[in-house]
Amino acid sequence: MISNISFKELVERYGLERATEIFREGEELSRRLIDMFVTTGKVDMDTLKKIADIDPTGNKKYVPWLVKMYIKDKESFDFDHLISIIPEFDALVKSGYIESQDRDINRFGSIQELIDIVNDANNRKSASVSSLSKDFEVVRDDEDFLVVVPHSHEASRKLGLKYFSNFDRDDVKDDERNNCTWCTTYKTSAHWNNYYNKQILTLYYILARNPDIAKKLKARVSPYADKMAVVVYTDGRFELWDGDYPKNKRMNSEQVKAYMDITGYSNLMVGDTVEVPGGKKGVVDEIDSENYTATVKFRNGKVEVFNVNDLKKISK
């Protein structure tokens, strides 16, 4: 399948039966696209894969137009920019912010025309919601860390641009240094709505301000781990995504452990045995990811609430 997603990931998301259907549909779609563009010599296979990865739709409906634009001007075809522009356009079309006459991507004769339409739609949208941009919580704000929890798309975008953009990256184009890599900070609210409203996840944005801490994170975790997005699921599971641009990366278990060790943040989960201040041991019964607290149940049946940072996880 022309996609970065593996069959294993499909099974985890949809179950074996639906994953098999999706995989077969993807194989058929891949063959159709290959016949259209690779077999005919318009583009090579690697290029088609890169172009297909830009398209967020299941039927890859934007690929023919993207191939056309690529053939028209290969030198200015910016894969890194389009990987955010195309999903934005698609989300704006679905949410009704793109005028009806502009919803067919094939009407655009250039990528710049598409970008102009996306910018116009975003400007109209942001003008009506600017008053909501203060809807966020500051969990920590000191010389070592800034930790914030956005509660609206507008707040998420504002925080992303102000504190987590690429302003300090010499390897990023000048006109992209104000961008933030996390999709929940994009102009379109589609990604935010999926995470926050549909899946009801909590998002933490963490900035390591202390130069020594940032240096350790970059050396041991990821070159871009000084900016980290933490996605917390309702059952206490969580993921860490670094601030690499244009594609942020999910941290593996070793990277997560290193991040926790350096920052002091916990990787607690419900059911973990912990030591509380004073030396008593108990089991994590509930995690309040929004307030960063955990309810610990002791052997005598008593329960107490603690700040997560005050708990020491005991290895099993």
pLDDT (tens digit, 0 to 9) for every residue of the chain, 316 residues total? 444 445 566 566 557 776 566 556 556 657 778 778 887 888 888 888 899 889 888 788 999 999 999 999 998 899 988 988 998 898 888 766 787 788 899 999 999 999 999 988 877 766 544 444 468 888 888 888 988 999 999 899 988 888 888 766 666 676 666 778 899 998 888 889 888 877 888 899 999 998 899 999 999 999 999 999 999 887 777 899 999 887 889 999 899 889 988 887 666 667 788 899 999 999 988 877 556 688 999 999 999 999 887 888 775 4
Same domain for 158 and 257, yes or no, is yes
Same domain for 41 and 81, yes or no, is yes
Residue whose entry in the numeric block shows the structure tokens 């294993």? 8
Q: Note down the domain range covering 179.
A: 133-263
Same domain for 178 and 88, yes or no, is no
Number of domains in the chain: 3
Same domain for 102 and 137, yes or no, is no
Strand partners, 138: 148
pTM across the whole model: 0.49
Specify the CATH number for the domain of residue 295.
2.30.30
Pairing of strands 145-150, 227-232: unpaired
- Of the residues 103, 128, 153, the one at which a domain ends: 128
